[in-house]
Amino acid sequence: MTLRNRLGQRFLPYGANYLDWHDMHELREAIGHGVLFRYQTEDESLASRLERHVAERLGAAHVLAVHNCTEALRLALISSRPRTGALVHIPAVTFVAVAGAVLSSGLIPVLVDVDESLALDATLLPPDTERVIVAHMEGAAAPVPEGIPYVVEDCAQALGARLPDGRHVGTAGYAGTFSFHHNKVLTSGEGGLLVTGDPAAWATMRGYHDHGSARVPGRYPTWNPDAHYGENLVTSEGVAAVQLQQFRHLDELLDGLERHHDLAMGALPARTDLQVLPRAAGDVKISLRFRCESRELRDAAVTALTAHGIANWTLGKYLLPEHPVLTGRRSLYADGFPWSLAPDGPLALSRDGFARTRDLLDRTLCVPLSPELSEQDRILAVKTLRQVLETV
């Protein structure tokens, strides 16, 4: 049974609303072949077809499909051939998987404060910075620092977004990572993609993701003479098939979000104490983001929206300086690895101990937009949202 709110919107995010068994041509193809392992056939696998399609869609030179975005982040970092214990500068506001990917790669995260838009503040980076992860949060394209050898773009929440120069997010740095988790723009439940413009890096990524060797389709397993150790991060044909189905709806989805956003921006109440944050032209409009005058007003808005069945969320869960993974520095290794390799002193860069960022998060509220709604239902959704916010 599909759950819906009072406006008829399904309680599903974005791409999940486009999942349709009758539209699963590629999945039927995979089942018909009786092969769900990408290297079992000499013909082009669905995983390879997906990678080729994504490369064309995003303007990326090389694409690799993996199990999830966390693995993609780890692959990006490992392919840069770091020393264990090397520092990786990450945003102070992002999902904890970013820190987890750094630590599980044997590296040390350094939390970098964010600017008013909640994007990593590159002005805080030291001159000798080598590795940075930039997170494009909430569909917003964050600035990509220049002059740093290894900039990894975490695009988990921003598939389809573009930078001001027109490039797709994920293609401006050393590597870009994407997620197909259930709550992302497109979904296959889980799943990830890694893109890069560096052919040598891609060769390293491709080998590491399948036990250290580049596989020959139809002749599995084969081993490179110079094989290094690796892991099994290889996607399946079934997951790739669902992702191909999802990509067919990407433009439709992005257009629907854009239209809903435009309607909302033209109709929401003009309140100085509860402002809608503007979005850039290239952002994926997955939500309306409100900046409230106080946390009390934010909490009152959350209560009112929830009472009317209108989905919403806050962003405090993304504040990494207060996350137990970072504050506790615990490890499953007896010697505390990799924290045992961390330099003495705080691993954070902030002008005020993240006080401003805490305040920004405490006053920020997000309301999701729905790409699949009809024009009439979008108008009704915006009208209802406006009525609720006017009473807060």
Q: What confidence category does residue 3 fall into, taking pLDDT thresholds of 50, 70 and 90?
A: very low
Mean pLDDT of 331-348: 95
Residues 141 and 92 in one domain: yes
Amino acid at 29: E
From 213, 247, 281, give the residue that closes a domain.
Answer: 247
**CATH number (domain holding residue 270):** 3.90.1150.10
| Domain presence at residue 201 | yes
Instruction: Report the candidate in 256, 267, 291 with the shortest Cα–Cα distance to residue 374.
Output: 256
Mean pLDDT of 8-37: 89
**CATH number (domain holding residue 173):** 3.40.640.10
| Domain presence at residue 333 | no
| Domain presence at residue 49 | yes
The predicted model scores a pTM of 0.96
From 228, 247, 266, give the residue that closes a domain.
Answer: 247
Residues 308 and 223 in one domain: no
pLDDT at 320 exceeding the cut of 90:
yes
Please give the residue range of the domain that contains residue 286.
Answer: 250-318+355-391
- Average pLDDT for the chain: 95
- What's the rounded Cα separation, in Å, for the pair 33 and 332? 42
Query: 285 with 162: CB under 8 angstroms?
Result: no
pLDDT tens for each residue of 235-288: 999 999 999 999 999 999 999 999 999 999 999 988 999 999 999 999 999 999
- What's the rounded Cα separation, in Å, for the pair 71 and 173? 18
pLDDT at 151 exceeding the cut of 50:
yes
pLDDT tens for each residue of 61-99: 999 999 999 999 999 999 999 999 999 999 999 999 999
pLDDT at 13: 85
**Residue 385 tokens, joined:** 């949202």
pLDDT at 115 exceeding the cut of 80:
yes
pLDDT at 261: 97
pLDDT at 11 exceeding the cut of 80:
no
Domain count, the chain: 2
**Residue 24 tokens, joined:** 């699963």
pLDDT at 346: 87
- What's the rounded Cα separation, in Å, for the pair 95 and 199? 29
Residues 277 and 202 in one domain: no
End-to-end CA distance of the chain: 33
Q: Count of H helices and E strands in the chain? A: 11, 11
| Domain presence at residue 112 | yes
Query: 157 with 119: CB under 8 angstroms?
Result: no
Residues 168 and 95 in one domain: yes
Residues 170 and 284 in one domain: no
Q: What confidence category does residue 2 fall into, taking pLDDT thresholds of 50, 70 and 90?
A: very low
CA separation (Å) from 340 to 78, 104, 133, 176? 19, 13, 22, 29
Residues 273 and 285 in one domain: yes
- Dmax over CA atoms of the chain, in Å, equals 69
* DSSP letter for each residue of 210-221: BTTS---TTS-S
Query: 106 with 338: CB under 8 angstroms?
Result: yes
From 187, 219, 247, give the residue that closes a domain.
Answer: 247
Residues 182 and 37 in one domain: yes
- What's the rounded Cα separation, in Å, for the pair 235 and 246? 16
Query: 247 with 54: CB under 8 angstroms?
Result: yes
- State what percent of residues in the chain have pLDDT above 70: 97
- What's the rounded Cα separation, in Å, for the pair 368 and 257? 9
Sheet architecture: strand order including 348-349: 62-66, 192-196, 175-179, 150-154, 131-135, 87-91, 108-112, 348-349
| Domain presence at residue 26 | yes
